[in-house]
Structures are given as C-alpha cells and as structure tokens.
Chain A
C-alpha cells in the first residue's frame, strides 16, 4: 500500500536529515552500522560467552560460570608456556624483520637502474597468502624433498630435518614470517628515508659531518617513529598469526611452536571448549589493545612532529 506523502512533510524529513549538524553523523552512519554488526556485536556476544561454559559441540544450555574460564586460563601452566613461545616467535621475527627491512630500505633509498622492477621482486613475499607460504615452506623444509635439506646436504651428510627439533621448528617459522614481512618494514623505512629533505644532507656535507653523525642527526630522527610504527604493527600482527604455524608445524614438534593463537584455535575447534577459548582470546585482545594504544600514541606523535 503506497502512501502519498505530502510534499512538505517529505521535504521536512529530508531537510532534517540533510541539516548540517546531522551531516557528519549521517556520513559516518553506514560505516558504524557495518562495523557494529560485523565486529562490535559479535565481540560483545563472545565476551558474554566467555562467562559461560558454552561448548559448541554440545546441545545443552550453557551455565553461567563467571570468571572461572579466565581463572582457569590464567593459572594454566601450559598457557604460560604458550605465551613464552609466542613471545619468542614474535620477538625474534619482528627483530629480524626490523634489521633486514632496514637494510633493504637503505639499499633502495637511491635511484638506480631497474629499481622499480627489483623492488617488486622484494615485495612479492608480502603478496602471497599465508596458506601458500605455509604449504611451500613446509615443502622446502622437508627432509627428503626439500630444498633446504638438499642445500645443507652439500656441506653435511645425512638428511636435515629442520622441523624435527623444537629449535629448528621455531627457526623455520621465524624465517618464513620474517621473509614474508620484512619488505613491509622496508616500505615503511623507505618512506621515511625518502622524505628527508636533500638540503639537510647538503648542510651536513658543508659542515663536514662524519657519516655516522649524519645518520644520527638527520636520518635516524626521520625514521625513528616509522621504525616504532613498524615494530608495533608487526608485533600485533605476528601475535595473531595462526595459518602459517598451523600449516608448517601444527604447533609441533609437540607443543614447541604452539603459540597462543594456535592454542586458541585448538581449544575452539578441536577440543570444542568454546568459552574457554574465548576467554583466552579476550586476554589476547587485552594485550593487543594495550599495544594498539602505544601504536596510536606513536602515530599521533609522528603527525605532530611532522617536519
């Protein structure tokens, strides 16, 4: 049934809608709506869920258990071990990414023939999906067919099974992750290097500054905040990684490479301890939020300091 709206009334609503004060909120509304439905709402739901003992594979009604899930998680030694593993992987990988990324940026900070093409080559790791990287790095690490063992065999007898030992497995994962994301750090640092005004270097040349002093006084301040950004962003992301680890080592051998994220997945989809997994998930979220705050703070400082 159509209702003809008198023109004035229609105009009134549209006018109200289009008024300048409402303009801002109106434009933001679609975004907020989507985010709310897809992110905030599920977030709240699962937060609530963590206070129950919901198990996804059982049909019965979940009981309210208060903070028991959180308690259980926090007092679980295994969980702390997972945190340690996670810290180790995240720390090593991010450090490696920083160093290599920085060196790459220094390399690409000048214009030279074929620069564009070569930079694309270096950027390709980032473009692969985690699954692809996982699958093929697993192949490379394979003792019988893998490239790595073949290479090692050139110098050393016997097959080399990188993933058989905990240290090896950790190294394998760290290597894969660092390989994938050091180009990202490179991009960040490069953006900083490239934005340094040329005349500052000229002034330093006139002032007869040594290379080290030049770096310390001019270059480093420009990339300092970007490096920090890189560290925080990569830390947060590496914290969350799951696919690569799961595919390459499945958290093994044993639990040597099982990070928190993998643990959560295992809890949720293999043990079906849904609520427990969400509790753990929320602890992760808390850590991530703290890190994000730091990240935002540094971004803000960066924009204010923009020289």
Chain B
C-alpha cells in the first residue's frame, strides 16, 4: 500500500495552490510535508484525503487511482488540526465512531477500543466529553480515532500545533512511537521543523505549491538543496552571506570576497572547481559550526559582538562584521562580552556554497 502523486495540481480561481507535485510514500513510511503557511501542504494533504478535488494529475493509493473517489470511499484516516472531535459523544464513542461503518461485532469493537485506549493512555477519560478535555487529551483522542481503524493510509494535519512547548515535546515522542507501530504510509503536515525532523522518515519541504526538496531529515538538514531550504531548516537560522569568488587559489582553496570588504579563504572541494572567477555565490554556515577566535585567521571574519542571548546550555551571539548579522552558537561556558572584537572562523568542511540559488558544493556533516 503506497501513496503516489503525479503532477497533482489544485487551483482556486487564478491562484495555484498546489503546482504539479510528485510524491511517493512507501508502506510504513512517514513523510512530513513541511513549509511556511500558504505553501500548499495542507491542500496537498486534503487532496490525498479526498476533501479537495484534484484539478490535474493523478493520485494513487495502493496502486488504485482515487481522483474520482469520495473521501469515504478511499478508506483513509485523518487527524484534523482542530481535532474535530464530536462534541456530543464521549471519548469512547468518539474513538469507535469510524468502526460503525465496518460492521464489526460488539466484542470486536470493545477489543479495539481497549487496545487504543491502552496505547494512548486514554482509559481515565473514556467517559468524558470533548468539552471537558485538555488540549493534549483531545489530541490523543484525535490520533486514537485514526489508529483504531486499519485504513489505507494515515494523514495528520498539524497534529501538535495547538499544544504548548512542553506538551509538544512529550507528544512528539509518543506519536513517533505510535507511528512506528503502524505499517501504512503516513503523511504529516506541519510548519514546525523540529516536529518534522523528529517524526519523519522523509521530509518534503514545500514553498508556494512546489516541493523544494524531498529527503531524509539528515540530508535536508545537512545538504539543503537550495537557499530556501537552507534558510528554512535549522534554528537559529543558517547564516547566508553573499560573496564573490575571487579566483581559485592554490592547493584547492578559494578566496571569497564578502560584502563589506573582508575576504575568506576556504577549501574548495571538487564540486566547486568549475566555478568561474568572479562568480556570485552565497555562503551558508550554521551558527553552531562557526568558531569564535580571538585572533584572526585566513578563514575567519573579524567582527564585533553586538548582542548576547543566553539560551541555557548554549549561548547565541550576534556578531557584526560591518555589513551582516552573523549568528554564532557556542557552549554557555565560553566567555563573551558585548562590544568585544572577535573573529568568526569558518572551519573546513562546514560551509555550503550556493550558486544561482542551488547548492553547488556542500560541506560535510555539520553539528545539529
């Protein structure tokens, strides 16, 4: 049982919400649709569910073309952003609601109910009504209503967006466990990258109705395909510095002239060898990969510390090289002072080079 989208398109009048996207989700795989609001991720999910008509293209579930099937005929399970729990039914009744269409016996229904209640720890609240539940409980009931069935696939629309930070952390882990027990393709829509990075087997980053990159979380993080993905994934945001390649230097090193006059001398791997001199590029480096030195080096930029934000185990320092705000994250024990003059070093193998918006040469694995 897999999900396939080929050229799926959805239009609202003159607005193209989803623009000819291709997706493949295998059995048992969890795919996250990640992106800013309005990028079309929820619309895509609803097209798979059958709540929105697909204007062009094909959608296949389990090999069967479902474009013309109503949602109820597709046998999909969906958990809604606002939970959509039936207010007049108790939790138990909400959970077994989808089973009415399957013609099961009382005993079978009871068994399934007990199983789900146990997995999601819903036993204490089975007799309550949605109006009496806390957000986290509602969310678990919504998930429970999905997994009590054996549908062709599972769809989740922003499952954790309404929970507070702490609850989100707990639920993230719980949901991941639950998802691992399912053997059907699962699609999760979220705007929270941490959720995506944690729960997904693969992430599809979307923007303006198009997919920018589909890859494992590690790849999306470590080798972002373009500037958008690079800037979207990772907090604090990756530093993106426009630069001009002065010319290949000796020994596989290149000199990049940064706006504002400073230069960086960095390793250029094989992939960057074809870059002509004078090429305009964007250098990207994650805040945690930058090193702070007290002495200048060939691969460092001198800057002043503008602002220090303690973040607990780490510290976020905003450096200013005269033109750009450079974010650096260091261990909390590093001594820094605002106004101090330091040098931000671009260690070998940690800088991404983007040419014409797309990743050309990338560094190796960076720290998360």
The range of chain B's interface size is: 20 to 34
A204 to B78 Cα, complex, angstroms: 10
Q: Check A217 against B89 for contact (C-beta < 8 Å).
A: yes
Segment among A47-55, A58-66, A135-143, A205-213 that sits at the interface with chain B: A205-213
Q: Check A206 against B49 for contact (C-beta < 8 Å).
A: yes
Contacts of A208 in B (CB 8 A): 72, 75, 98, 101
Nearest CB on A from B108, distance (A): 17
Contacts of A207 in B (CB 8 A): 72, 97-98, 101, 145
Q: Check B88 against A217 for contact (C-beta < 8 Å).
A: yes
Q: Check A200 against B86 for contact (C-beta < 8 Å).
A: yes
Nearest CB on A from B59, distance (A): 16
- Contact A199 to B70, CB < 8 A, known contacts A206-B49, A207-B97: no
A14 to B70 Cα, complex, angstroms: 70
Q: Check A221 against B88 for contact (C-beta < 8 Å).
A: yes
Nearest CB on A from B90, distance (A): 12
A206 to B86 Cα, complex, angstroms: 13
Q: Does B364 contact A (CB under 8 A)?
A: no
Q: Check A209 against B101 for contact (C-beta < 8 Å).
A: yes
Q: Does A26 contact B (CB under 8 A)?
A: no
Q: Check A203 against B88 for contact (C-beta < 8 Å).
A: no
The range of chain A's interface size is: 10 to 19
Q: Check A209 against B84 for contact (C-beta < 8 Å).
A: no
Question: Which residue of chain B is the closest to A203 with respect to CB atoms?
Answer: B84
Q: Check B82 against A197 for contact (C-beta < 8 Å).
A: yes
Q: Check A203 against B80 for contact (C-beta < 8 Å).
A: yes
A200 to B97 Cα, complex, angstroms: 13
Q: Does B51 contact A (CB under 8 A)?
A: yes
A217 to B97 Cα, complex, angstroms: 10
A213 to B97 Cα, complex, angstroms: 10
Contact of A221 among B71, B75, B77, B87 (CB under 8 A): B87
Contacts of B88 in A (CB 8 A): 217-218, 221
Question: Which residue of chain B is the closest to A221 with respect to CB atoms?
Answer: B88
Nearest CB on B from A218, distance (A): 6
Contacts of B49 in A (CB 8 A): 206
Q: Check A199 against B84 for contact (C-beta < 8 Å).
A: yes
Within 8 A of B (CB), among A182-216: 197, 199-200, 202-210, 213
Q: Check B97 against A205 for contact (C-beta < 8 Å).
A: no
A305 to B71 Cα, complex, angstroms: 30
Q: Does B106 contact A (CB under 8 A)?
A: no
Q: Does A31 contact B (CB under 8 A)?
A: no
Question: Which residue of chain A is the closest to B98 with respect to CB atoms?
Answer: A207
Q: Does A154 contact B (CB under 8 A)?
A: no
Contacts of B80 in A (CB 8 A): 199, 202-203
Of A197, A208, A209, A307, most buried by chain B (CB within 10 Å of CB) is A208
Contacts of A217 in B (CB 8 A): 86, 88-89, 97
Contact with A along B65-101 (1 / 0, CB 8 A): 0000011100111101010101111000000011011
Q: Check A307 against B97 for contact (C-beta < 8 Å).
A: no
- Contact A205 to B72, CB < 8 A, known contacts A199-B80, A217-B97: yes
Contact with B along A203-238 (1 / 0, CB 8 A): 111111110010001100100000000000000000
Q: Does B366 contact A (CB under 8 A)?
A: no
Q: Check B86 against A202 for contact (C-beta < 8 Å).
A: no
A197 to B84 Cα, complex, angstroms: 9
Q: Check A209 against B100 for contact (C-beta < 8 Å).
A: yes
Contacts of B77 in A (CB 8 A): 206
Q: Check B78 against A199 for contact (C-beta < 8 Å).
A: no
Question: Which residue of chain B is the closest to A306 with respect to CB atoms?
Answer: B131
Q: Check B72 against A202 for contact (C-beta < 8 Å).
A: no
Nearest CB on B from A7, distance (A): 57
Contacts of B100 in A (CB 8 A): 209-210, 213
Contacts of A305 in B (CB 8 A): 131
Nearest CB on A from B278, distance (A): 55
Nearest CB on A from B86, distance (A): 5
Nearest CB on A from B156, distance (A): 12
Of B49, B71, B75, most buried by chain A (CB within 10 Å of CB) is B71
Contact of A203 among B50, B78, B101 (CB under 8 A): B78
- Contact A218 to B86, CB < 8 A, known contacts A208-B72, A209-B101, A213-B100: yes
Nearest CB on A from B50, distance (A): 8
Q: Check B72 against A206 for contact (C-beta < 8 Å).
A: yes
Nearest CB on A from B81, distance (A): 8
Q: Check B131 against A307 for contact (C-beta < 8 Å).
A: yes
A206 to B78 Cα, complex, angstroms: 7
A203 to B49 Cα, complex, angstroms: 11
A210 to B100 Cα, complex, angstroms: 9
25 contacts between A and B (CB under 8 A): A197-B84, A199-B80, A202-B80, A202-B84, A203-B84, A203-B86, A204-B86, A205-B51, A205-B70, A206-B51, A206-B71, A206-B72, A206-B76, A206-B77, A206-B78, A207-B97, A207-B98, A208-B101, A213-B100, A217-B88, A217-B97, A218-B86, A305-B131, A307-B87, A307-B131
Nearest first, the 9 A-B pairs at minimum CB distance are A208-B101, A203-B84, A221-B88, A207-B98, A208-B72, A199-B84, A205-B71, A206-B78, A307-B87
Residues of B within 8 A of A (CB): 49-51, 70-72, 75-78, 80, 82, 84, 86-89, 97-98, 100-101, 131, 145
Residues of A within 8 A of B (CB): 197, 199-200, 202-210, 213, 217-218, 221, 305, 307
Additional A-B contacts beyond A207-B98, A207-B145, A221-B87 (20; CB < 8 A): A199-B84, A202-B71, A202-B84, A203-B80, A204-B86, A205-B51, A205-B70, A206-B76, A206-B78, A208-B72, A208-B75, A208-B101, A209-B100, A209-B101, A217-B86, A217-B88, A217-B97, A218-B88, A307-B87, A307-B131
